[in-house]
A and B are shown apart, each in its own frame.
Chain A
Amino acid sequence: MRKDMASSAVLNARVRGPLRLLLGQLPRLLFRLLFVFPLLLLAYLSLQQAWRFPRLVSGEWTLQHWAATLQGHNSLLSSMGLSLLLSGSVALLAATSGFAVSGAVMQQKRARRWLSLAYFPYLIAPVVFAAMLQFYFVRMGWSGTLGGVVLAQYLFVFPYAVLFFSGFWTDRMRNLIAQARTLGASSREVWLRILWPLGRPVLAMGLFQCFLLSWFEYGLTRLLGVGKVQTLTIQTVLYVQEANPHLAAVASLLMIVPAMLLLLINRQLLLRKTSGLQ
C-alpha cells in the first residue's frame, strides 16, 4: 500500500514537473510573443501570394514580392536608396553641426537657458512644423525637392543632436580640455587629440539616433515632398492605402532591418562607452 502511494507520488511529480515548467514559462513565452508577433505577421504577409478571409494560414507561400523588389519591378528599392541618402545626409549634417554647436552652447554661463531653445522645434510635431513652413518652401522653390526635404528634416533633427551631445560636455571633459590648454595645446590639437578620440563613440551614437529620427519620419516628408520625394515611409502608406498588404509588409521590413542593425551596433557602442567610463 505504502509502495503504491510512493509510486503514484513519483508519477504525479513526473507529470506535474513539465506542466509546472510550462506554466512557469508561459508568461515569459507570451511576453516574447507579444513583442515579436507584429514582426512575424509582417514577415508572413510579405511571403504570401494572397491572404483571403477567413483563412488564417493560406499556405500559398511565395518569394515574388521580395524578388520583384530586388529586381526593381516596383519602386521599393529606389525608395530605400533615396531614404538611405536622405537620412544619411540629415544624420551627418545634424550630428557634426550638433556636436560643434553643443560644445559652444555648453561653455556659456547660462548654458541650460541656451539649451532650452532646442526643445521648441524638437517637440513641435514635425508635420505641424512643416505645415507652418510650407509657404516659405514653396516660395523658395524647395517644395517637392530632395534638398528641401533634407533641409526641413535637418531643422528638427539638429535641435535633437544639440540636446543629445550636450551630455558629452561634462565637468570632467571641461577640466580635461582646460588642462590640455594650460599645458600649451592649441585648439586644433584639443580637437584632434582629445575631443575626437573621446567623442567618437558618442558621435557615432548620435549619428545613429539622428539617422533613425530621419528614417522614421513621414508627415513632414509627405507635406514638403508633395509626393515627389518617395521615401520608404511614404511608399508604405501608399501601399496600405492601395490595399496591397504584401508590398506594404516588404516596405515595412525594409524599414525595420536597418533600424535593428543600428540598434545592435548602438547597444554595443553603449556598452563600450560605459566600460570606457568605468
Chain B
Amino acid sequence: MSLTSSKRFSAPFLWVYALLTVVPLLAGWGYSLHCSLRPLQGISGQPGTWQRLFAPPSEGGEAWQTLSYTFGLSAISIGMILLFALPLSYAFVFNQRNKGLQGWLFLPLTMPPVVAAFAFLALLSPSGFLSRVAYALGLSAGIDQFPRLVNDALSTGIILTQVFLLTPFFTLAFINQAQQENMPALRRAADALGSRRAQFARRIYAPLLLRRSLPLLLLYAVYLFGTYEIPLLLGRSSPRVVTVYITEQMQRFDLSNIPLGHAMAVLYTALVAVLLVFLLSRRAGQIRET
C-alpha cells in the first residue's frame, strides 16, 4: 500500500520534482559550458577561455590561485571550527553546570552572513572597536599602526567571522551526536579501564565524533567553498574566492571576461557535484552496512 494513494497520483509530483531540481541546474550548467567553449566574437588571435583561465599567474591566469585560495580558506575555517567546537561540546556533555549556557549557542544562528560580516568589520577594521581599545590602552598609535585584520593577506576577518557563525552549529551537532553515542557511559567504561580524561577525549571522544560527523563536515566544507557575502565584504580584491571571482568576471565592462566567469562556474559546479556523488555513495554504503 502506498503512502497516500496510488502511484498514478504521485507521478506528477515526481515530474515536478525532477523538473525543479535537475532541469534548471542542467540548463544553467549547459549554458555556462557553452559560453566557456565558444570563441570570442570580434576578438581574433586570443587564446581560448579555458587556456586563459589555466594560464600561469604571470600571464594572468587565475584559476589555480582562486581555487587553492578558496580551498585553503575552507580548510582552515573547518579546522578552526573543529578546534573550538569539539572541546566546547565536551564541556557541555560532561559538565551539567554548563547546560544553562547552551541557549547562547543559538544566538549566532540568527545572524545572516551579511550581518555577521558587517559586525566583524565594525569590530576588526582599522577604525573599529578593537583598534580603539588598542589605542586607549596605548598599544597602537592610531589607525595606520593597527594591524590589518580585514581585507588582509591572511584573510583573518573572513576566517574569524566564519568560525563565529559556524562553531555554535557544530557544537550543537556534536552535543547531539555525543548523546546518541552515549558518551557518558563510554567515559565510565574508559575510567574503569584506567584511562585518563585527556586520553579519553583524544582517543575516543574526538575520533568517534569526527568519524560519525564526517558527512556533515564535508557538506559544510562544500558550503564554505561556495561562501560569498563574507569574503565580499571582508576579503581582498586578489586573491578572491571562487564565488566572488565568478560574479566579478560576469559583471565587468570588458565582455571578454564573461566567458572566464562561466568557465569557473562550470568548474566549481563540477567539483561540488563530484564531491557530492562521493559523499552520497559513501552514505549509501554505510546504510547498506547497517
B247 touches A38 (CB 8 A): no
A38 touches B123 (CB 8 A): yes
Contacts of B233 in A (CB 8 A): 237, 240
B3 touches A103 (CB 8 A): yes
Contacts of B136 in A (CB 8 A): 54, 56
B280 touches A119 (CB 8 A): yes
Given contacts A38-B164, A263-B106, contact A124 B119 (CB under 8 A): no
A267 touches B4 (CB 8 A): no
A127 touches B122 (CB 8 A): no
Given contacts A32-B101, A104-B17, A252-B118, contact A135 B3 (CB under 8 A): no
Contacts of B208 in A (CB 8 A): none
Which listed residue, B101, B114, B122, touches A41 by the CB 8 Å rule?
A: B122
Our count of residue pairs bridging A and B at CB distance below 8 angstroms stands at: 230
Contacts of A219 in B (CB 8 A): 228-229, 243, 247
A223 located at the interface, meaning its Cβ lies under 8 Å from any Cβ of chain B in the complex: yes
Residue of B nearest to A261 (CB): B110
A9, B36: Cα distance in complex, Å: 80
B75 located at the interface, meaning its Cβ lies under 8 Å from any Cβ of chain A in the complex: no
Q: Hey, what's the 0/1 contact readout for A46-75 against B, CB within 8 Å counting as 1?
A: 000000011110000000000000000000
Residue of B nearest to A216 (CB): B112
Shortest C-beta distance, A140 to chain B (Å), equals 12
A218 located at the interface, meaning its Cβ lies under 8 Å from any Cβ of chain B in the complex: yes
Shortest C-beta distance, A170 to chain B (Å), equals 11
Given contacts A132-B31, A133-B28, contact A267 B3 (CB under 8 A): no
B61 located at the interface, meaning its Cβ lies under 8 Å from any Cβ of chain A in the complex: no
A53 touches B112 (CB 8 A): no
A131 touches B246 (CB 8 A): yes
Which listed residue, A41, A128, A218, A259, touches B246 by the CB 8 Å rule?
A: A128
A177, B3: Cα distance in complex, Å: 6
Contacts of B227 in A (CB 8 A): 125
A16 located at the interface, meaning its Cβ lies under 8 Å from any Cβ of chain B in the complex: no
A218, B284: Cα distance in complex, Å: 34
B21 touches A121 (CB 8 A): yes
Contacts of A42 in B (CB 8 A): 115, 118-119, 122
User: Could you tell me the dominant secondary structure of chain B's interface residues?
Assistant: helix
Shortest C-beta distance, B241 to chain A (Å), equals 10
What size tier do the contact residues of chain B reach? 35 or more
B104 touches A36 (CB 8 A): yes
B17 touches A162 (CB 8 A): yes
B287 touches A245 (CB 8 A): no
Which listed residue, B21, B111, B223, B262, touches A117 by the CB 8 Å rule?
A: B21
Q: Hey, what's the 0/1 contact readout for B9-27 against A, CB within 8 Å counting as 1?
A: 1100110111011101101
Contacts of A223 in B (CB 8 A): 247
Best-buried of B10, B101, B250 by chain A (most CB within 10 Å) = B10
Best-buried of B7, B32, B143 by chain A (most CB within 10 Å) = B32
Which listed residue, A121, A124, A132, A255, touches B115 by the CB 8 Å rule?
A: A255
A45, B6: Cα distance in complex, Å: 59
Shortest C-beta distance, A181 to chain B (Å), equals 6
A174, B31: Cα distance in complex, Å: 41
**Considering the complex of A and B, which 10 residue pairs feature the smallest CB-CB distances, nearest first?**
A125-B226, A132-B28, A104-B13, A104-B10, A38-B119, A216-B112, A259-B110, A107-B3, A187-B5, A252-B115
Interchain Cβ contacts under 8 Å between A and B, 21 examples: A32-B104, A36-B107, A53-B132, A101-B16, A103-B13, A105-B17, A107-B4, A119-B276, A119-B280, A121-B25, A123-B272, A127-B228, A129-B28, A132-B31, A158-B21, A177-B3, A178-B1, A191-B4, A256-B112, A259-B110, A263-B106
